[in-house]
Structure 1
Amino acid sequence: MINIDEVVSSIRESITLVDAYLREKDEVRELIIKSGRDVIRESGYVITSLHSMRLEDAGKHYSAMKDIYLKVTELASKYPELRNSGLYFNIASEYVEAALYYILIKEGRLPSISDLGVDPVPYVQGLLDLVGELKRRILDLVRDDKYDEAYTLFKVAEAIYESVRTLDYPDPILPGVRRKTDVARSVTESLRTLLTDLESRRRLMESLRKCESS
């Protein structure tokens, strides 16, 4: 015979535990959202400072961004669902993009996934987003007649696209990556056309100068 009092008590006890778990999880989620905004804001400052070549400012914002990101990661790690959520991945990919760009410009190298200590998905997302920032930097260099530097950064962008395009996985496994890869392809193709055209013009002008001086 069913002991209804015992059954009801068991249900209520379980729901009380569930409520406590979800309340704490929701509080952590809110903290992640709040701190995530700070990460995204600082990452924007890092990138803006780098485009203006204000490396000291970029370094300060990079340090602030990294500290906040590590706190966000610690919070998200308490709940696997949050650590593997779009919310966390979006924050992490913004961190990755800014960190990659900062270290590339400052140290001339691109840190690996293990260097940054990030998850695979946001690393790939941030890597692809970097291509857009490289385009902006390349155009600035072209305007300053720094073609060799521009071409070097183009090769970085091209390497990112060529490497990531081999990751043929569905969106549930690599969310947003196919779309970002398509964008990176478009960016690299437009840059290749631009730089090829500029190189042809440079060679033509050089030939004309030689003819004039002969």
Structure 2
Amino acid sequence: MEMLREEDLKIMRKELFKYDQNRERVLKLTREAVRLTSRAITHIHRSEYPAARSDLKKAEQRIRRAESITGKDPWFPAHKNLLTAYQELAEAKILYEFAVRMEVPSLRDVNVEVVPYLLGLLDFIGELRRMTATSILKGDLKKAENAMNVMEGILDDLTMLNHTASVDSFRHKLDAARRIVEATRGDVVTEIRRWNLENALNRFEERVHLNRK
């Protein structure tokens, strides 16, 4: 015996079908956006800035389209994917602005909501470690030290924030960022000491060589 009205069942079938169709569209768009932001990050580390800009623009377009599909419906099943895409976009845009202008862009400049900006900043710390390692390999200790100082500054500022318990994964990412900063500090300090020692030995050898003359 049917307990529900046929009219209600028809409405539910229609809405579920619409939800499923829109869910697939959002998943496709957000997956494409994440792929594009990942590729943009690779371009940035290679100093391929025009290609990075192009990918970031395409990624943002896809995310905005996905957001227009979800609307303001709190029950929409793909909201988490949208947040992840925004977070990845924030990370890539922050990295791009830092690589090009050597400064951390503001919330307004990145043009996302607070939560993806926060999480993007924490992920950006990992990209700064990568940048620091590359700078050390190239012998650019000044750039490596600057990146390390930025990492420490971001970590200090975010550690002081209150009410972050409501942000999923914030604490986990903060702890991971803290470990990354500590490891990077160790790498930079070790390299600076090695460089100073090497320079001191070179100067000593030069003095010995001059005295022999």
| Fold shared, TM-score > 0.5 on shorter chain | yes
2:34, 2:89 within 8 Å by CA — same for their partners in 1? yes
1:119-168 deviation digits (Å, cap 9, x = unpaired):
22222111111111111111011000011111111112112221222235
Greater shift, 115-124 or 73-82, is seen at 73-82
Task: Describe the shift of the 1:80–1:111 C-alpha distance in structure 2 as closer, same or farther (beyond 3 A).
Answer: farther
Structure 1 equivalent of residue 108 of structure 2? 114
Structure-2 change in CA distance of 1:84 and 1:28 (3 Å): closer
Q: SS of the residue aligned with 1:161?
A: helix
Aligned to 1:158: 152
Deviation (angstroms), 1:44: 1.1
Q: Does the aligned pair in 2 maintain the 1:134–1:157 contact within 8 Å?
A: yes
**Could you tell me which amino acid in structure 2 is paired with residue 210 of structure 1?**
R
In the alignment, the residues of structure 1 paired with residue 187 and residue 37 of structure 2 have an alpha-carbon distance, to the nearest angstrom, of: 28
Equivalent residue runs for 1:7-156 within 5 Å: 11-82=5-76, 85-156=79-150
1:204/1:133 CA distance change after superposition, 3 Å? same
Please state if 1:201 is matched with 2:194. yes
Tell me the CA shift for residue 203 of structure 1.
2.0
- CA deviation profile, 1:102-131 (whole Å, cap 9, x unmatched): 121123332222222222222211111111
Tell me by how many angstroms 1:68 deviates: 1.4
Question: How far apart in 2 are the matches of 1:160 and 1:16?
Answer: 53
Distance 1:82 1:163 in 2: 33
**TM-score, with normalisation over the residues of structure 1?**
0.85
Deviates more, 1:11-20 or 1:100-109: 11-20
Q: Counterpart in 1 of 2:171?
A: 178
Q: Distance in 2 between matches of 1:198 and 1:13?
A: 73
2:190 maps to amino acid:
D
The answer for unaligned runs of 5 or more in structure 1 is 1-7
- State how far apart, in whole Å, the 2-side matches of 1:27 and 1:143 are: 49
Distance, in Å, in 2 between the alignment partners of 1:196 and 1:96 is: 30
CA distance in 2: counterparts of 1:84 and 1:144, whole angstroms: 43
Shift of 1:174: 0.6
d(CA) in 1 for partners of 2:151, 2:4: 59
Bigger CA drift: 13-22 or 55-64?
13-22
Instruction: Give the length in aligned residue pairs.
Output: 206
Once the two structures are overlaid, the 10-residue window that deviates more, 14-23 or 63-72, is 14-23
| Amino acid in the other structure paired with 1:102 | Y
Aligned partners of 1:40 and 1:95 also within 8 Å = yes
Q: Which residue identity does 1:42 align to in structure 2?
A: L
Give the direction of change, closer, same or farther, for the CA distance of 1:130–1:199 in structure 2 (3 Å limit).
Answer: same
Root-mean-square deviation (CA, aligned residues, Å) is 2.4
- Contact 1:121/1:175 (8 A) holds in 2: no
List alignment gaps of at least 5 residues for structure 2. Answer: 208-213
User: Percent sequence identity over matched residues?
Assistant: 24
What displacement does 1:183 show? 0.8
User: Given the alignment, which residue of 176, 179, 190 partners 2:183?
Assistant: 190
